[in-house]
Structure 1
Amino acid sequence: MIKTYDEALSFIHGRTQFKKIPTLTRMKRFLAELGNPQEKLKYIHVTGTNGKGSTVAMLRSTLLESGLTVGSFTSPFITRFNERIAYNGIPISDEDLLRLVQKIVPVIKKLDAILETGGPTEFEIDTALMFCYMAEKKPDVVLLEVGIGGLYDSTNVITPVVSVITTVGWDHMKYLGDTLAKIATQKAGIIKKGVPVVLGNLPTEARATILADAKEKDSPVFELGKDFNAHQLNVHQFYAKIQYQGRTLKKIEAVLGLAGDYQIENAAVALMAFEIFMEKCGLAIDRHALVAALANTKWPGRLEEVNEMPLVLLDGAHNLPGVQALVRTIKNDFADREVYLLVAILADKQYELMLGELASLGNVHLNVTHFAGPGPKRPSADLARAVADIPTKYPIQIIDNWQLGIGKIARQMSEDDVMIITGSLYFVSDVRKLFLN
């Protein structure tokens, strides 16, 4: 019997992560055994290669500031597992998590015994815990962030008020496919019949796939750059001031609380989804509340400032599109400063291409390291070998111990220089504990 919070976490993390054949049948059976806790709630469903977390964070702020109660399900966590399941921005308590794990364990054991493929996976259990918690809390809206893909993701058992696809890029190819069209097909799986879908900036191949899927399902489409837009008013500034043009909202000006140029598109997508949700629910929009909400949005590990002088930022640019977005930010906002990067990446990512992007910048001092990784099946990449043939302006430094490495890099910097610690979100999570403890 599970008696403590730590035992509950060990039970969750000890489950299988993936099954050979993707299916939602097992998840639907699991929820049916639990009394279908996912029913009778309103959802905004968010997928995308990058930008999901930031979009959810801005949506949460705007909805809360508008007076609604808001549940959210996000991944991965940065500091503690509980962050993934939150009500009004407050993570589930240890006591509630333990109680809900104790509630669902008998159902898991039953399914383990009777299902040919075995019982629920770790992420399916996470999702079921969230649905059970939200059924108790009954928020006005639940923001559901997809784990991987969309079509077979365990969150894809609901019909939302609005669906959101932030971006489509190269990541999780082992599970989603080796072309952008295949990856886009998986993301498009969250589009439901007649339910509006908001699209961020998508590559041509992915866009065509998603538009065809939406047309087949008679789902109204709202595209960034076509049906809504946002542009930056203060050029070369770390925190962008934007002007947003939407359906009913025109010329909304706001300073974003989340740093980085890529947040401009995420903010536009969040605002469009917010507009549609409020309209569908017959709720009025307070422009002043929106502006305050965007300014106050925080999201750990996304160009997060953890030291002021010298400036130290944490950025979980954990895949190739994420690194390309970080490169654009460095070019636009830090072109006149020396930038010291400390990078650790998981071995299952496109780490050679990611390093090549970062090394291409003339003002970057690249330092590579390794870390423990989230588990034995997902180790940190050996970046020391990967950088051997990468041309750079400054020699690439190989750091064995990242904790000591941060101090070593800091001693090389002047007050005007910038340190950015990036790569895996798991690595960023480890570093964040060091800075914020």
Structure 2
Amino acid sequence: MITTYEEALNFIHGRTKFKKSPSLNRMRAFMERLDNPQGNIAMIHVAGTNGKGSTVAFLRELLIAQGLNVGTYTSPFIVKFNERISLNGQMIDDTALLHLVNVVKPVVDRMDIELADFEGGPTEFEIITAMMFVYFGSINPVDIVVVETGLGGKYDSTNIIDPIISVITTIGLDHMKILGNTIEKIAQQKAGIIKRNRPIVVGRVTDGVFSVINNEAKLKNSPIFRLGVDFNAKSEGTKSSWEEILTYTSNKMNIKQLSVPLLGEFQDENAATAIATFEKVAEIQGWAISPKSIRQGISETRWPGRFEKVNDEPLVILDGAHNSAAVDRITQLLKTHFQDKEITIIFAVLADKQGKQMLEKLAAVPHVRVILTQFSGPRLVSKIDDFNVNKFDNVSIQESWKEALVQSVGEMSSVDLLLVTGSLYFISEVRSYFVSE
């Protein structure tokens, strides 16, 4: 019996992260020993390289505005571990998490013994996923759960479910050592969440990537709905109050002047992908929905760490862009919305990411200086020695991100912009200095 919250986290984080052979067999066996609580849950399954977290957040608020009790499963966390399992946007409390650990731990212990001659018992992510299934399937039933994949799709621990609908937001080059070194191989992994006779909604992807997804959908007899074809997002500019304005259209709806409280045209696309998914789920479930409730859901969406403003003078923004494609979106946003500002970027990245490419793209933004630093992440963090900063005129090094922060703010004027980016784990550390929750 684990008796404290700290012991519970130590148990979870002390598990192995990956196994050599990708398979869902261990996860299925794990859930069978827990009486398959996932079979009791209505779910929406969301995968993607970028945008899946924001899409989950939009979906959550759309479903809440419909009057439903909504669970979400996301990763990583920004404020506290518990937020990975949330009910109506509120993380589970420490007591609930401790109870869940004590429910799954005896099963984990038995599987460690049974599978000792193979690859051992459940991984960290499998355990957290099982806890979520137990919570929403047995302990605290809800109307619907929006489940975000952890990594990839085909062999992700969440992929034992039979969801109402699946969603793929975007696909780019990330986790290449695990998912494959081409965009098509990664697309094949993401397309693994498509289920037979269940619809799939697809966000902004290239034609080549869509072809991979479409082929899988045809094999599974899964109706497919694509952004730019079956539904559309038209960005209408921004408001001074940190909002994008969106017009959403589908074959059944035309909603103008939607207020999207997450900045960036890519968030308009994420919002539209969420609305299209909500439309399809409502059709399947027989719900009556209205433009009014959709407006409410989108306008009330909050998602920490995604181009999040945490200070006004100077303007301080946190964004968890953690791969090259995400940095492309951020740099475009800086060029179009903040071209009149002097920009300082504090950048730190995990070692398994495209750090050098990301740095080059950030350094190419006009009126920018970049400070390369480090943080104490749960995974291997890129060291500043890994980068050749001598080729940049506007990149410097500061080993301590805290010193970089103090130095930057001290040198900036009240109208300048400071962006902290490179990793969700990094901005999670930094955010506590600006936001108390």
**One-letter code aligned to 1:388:** V
Query: Does the 8 Å contact 1:66/1:286 carry over to 2?
Result: no
**One-letter code aligned to 1:40:** N
> Deviation at 1:174?
1.0
Instruction: State which drifts further: 400-409 or 137-146.
Output: 400-409
**1:371 counterpart (364, 371, 375):** 375
The alignment partner of 2:374 has SS state of coil
User: What is the distance in 1 between the residues matched to 2:162 and 2:386?
Assistant: 47
User: What is the distance in 1 between the residues matched to 2:412 and 2:370?
Assistant: 13
TM-score in terms of structure 2 length: 0.96
Alignment correspondent of 1:403: 402
The alignment partner of 1:233 has SS state of strand
Could you list the per-position Cα deviations for residues 116-174 of structure 1 after superposition, in whole angstroms to 9, with x for gaps in the alignment?
A: 22110000000000000001222111100000000000100111111000000011111
> Deviation at 1:362?
1.6
Alignment correspondent of 1:48: 48
> Deviation at 1:178?
0.6
Query: Does the 8 Å contact 1:369/1:384 carry over to 2?
Result: no
Query: Does the 8 Å contact 1:85/1:91 carry over to 2?
Result: yes
User: What is the distance in 2 between the residues matched to 1:416 and 1:313?
Assistant: 13
Matches within 5 A, 1:181-220: 181-220=184-223
User: What is the distance in 2 between the residues matched to 1:337 and 1:390?
Assistant: 24
2:420 aligned with 1:417: no
Q: Which runs of 4+ in 1 moved over 3 A?
A: 235-238, 389-392
**One-letter code aligned to 2:90:** I
> Deviation at 1:382?
2.2
Could you list the per-position Cα deviations for residues 304-323 of structure 1 after superposition, in whole angstroms to 9, with x for gaps in the alignment?
A: 11101111000000111111
How many residues matched? 432
Alignment correspondent of 1:140: 143
What root-mean-square deviation, in Å, do the aligned CA atoms of Structure 1 and Structure 2 show?
A: 1.3
User: What is the distance in 2 between the residues matched to 1:329 and 1:258?
Assistant: 12
Matches within 5 A, 1:104-143: 104-115=104-115, 116-135=118-137, 136-143=139-146
Query: Does the 8 Å contact 1:356/1:390 carry over to 2?
Result: no
The alignment partner of 1:400 has SS state of strand
**One-letter code aligned to 1:62:** L
Query: Does the 8 Å contact 2:47/2:169 carry over to 1?
Result: yes
Matches within 5 A, 1:25-174: 25-115=25-115, 116-135=118-137, 136-174=139-177
TM-score in terms of structure 1 length: 0.96
Could you list the per-position Cα deviations for residues 356-400 of structure 1 after superposition, in whole angstroms to 9, with x for gaps in the alignment?
A: 1111112211111111121xxx322123551425445xx312112
Query: Does the 8 Å contact 1:78/1:301 carry over to 2?
Result: yes
Alignment correspondent of 2:382: 381
Contiguous gaps of at least 5 residues in structure 2: none
Query: Does the 8 Å contact 2:342/2:368 carry over to 1?
Result: yes
> Deviation at 1:261?
2.4
**One-letter code aligned to 2:123:** T
**One-letter code aligned to 2:25:** T
Instruction: State which drifts further: 197-206 or 351-360.
Output: 197-206
Alignment correspondent of 1:234: 237
**2:318 counterpart (293, 307, 314):** 314
Alignment correspondent of 1:305: 309
User: What is the distance in 2 between the residues matched to 1:252 and 1:218?
Assistant: 33
**One-letter code aligned to 1:398:** I
2:260 aligned with 1:256: yes
User: What is the distance in 1 between the residues matched to 2:341 and 2:251?
Assistant: 39
Query: Does the 8 Å contact 2:15/2:124 carry over to 1?
Result: yes
Could you list the per-position Cα deviations for residues 44-78 of structure 1 after superposition, in whole angstroms to 9, with x for gaps in the alignment?
A: 10000000100000000111011011011000011
User: What is the distance in 1 between the residues matched to 2:295 and 2:431?
Assistant: 28
User: What is the distance in 2 between the residues matched to 1:283 and 1:252?
Assistant: 22
User: What is the distance in 1 between the residues matched to 2:386 and 2:141?
Assistant: 51
Instruction: State which drifts further: 243-252 or 297-306.
Output: 243-252
